Amino acid sequence: MLLEKWADLTALGNMQRTRLDVAAKLGSSGDEGTATVTLANKSNRIAFFVRLELTKGIDGDEVLPSTYEDNYITLFPRESRTIRVHFHESQLAGSSPSVRLEDYNVPKVTATFR
């Protein structure tokens, strides 16, 4: 007899909150843009299942299509990760790009490029 049971993931909503430091820079060649985003977890808590988005301005729509080298990542205490996002600058439609991220236990963060 096969018994199906879904995993109970409610504890994810009770994880201790943490914050991430975000540094972002842009590069381009013609219409090909590259966003390099470094995330740093300086806390002693896990940042679980972080989703990064390249957006059209602060809190704008996501730039699509975009290719992320990695996404939906977990950062362990004191861990840093650098992620590159490749996109067509024409998809920005004249907006300045920004970065937005959030996850289960990290409040939403938006950052502009330097």
Q: Give the model's confidence band at 104: pLDDT under 50 very low, under 70 low, under 90 confident, else very high.
A: confident
The yes-or-no verdict on residue 97 having pLDDT over 80 is yes
The predicted model scores a pTM of 0.88
CATH (domain of 70): 2.60.40.10
Q: In terms of residue numbers, what domain contains 76? A: 18-106
The residue to which tokens 């861990």 are assigned? 79
> What is the number of structural domains in the chain?
1
The per-residue pLDDT for range 60-86, each reduced to its tens digit, is 999 999 999 999 999 999 999 999 999
Q: Flag whether 111 is in a domain.
A: no
Please compute the mean of the pLDDT values over residues 86-99 and round it to a whole number. 95
Instruction: Measure Cα distances from 54 to 10, 28, 71, 102, 107 in Å.
Output: 29, 15, 11, 12, 17
Please compute the mean of the pLDDT values over residues 37-49 and round it to a whole number. 96
Q: Flag whether 77 is in a domain.
A: yes
Q: Flag whether 64 is in a domain.
A: yes
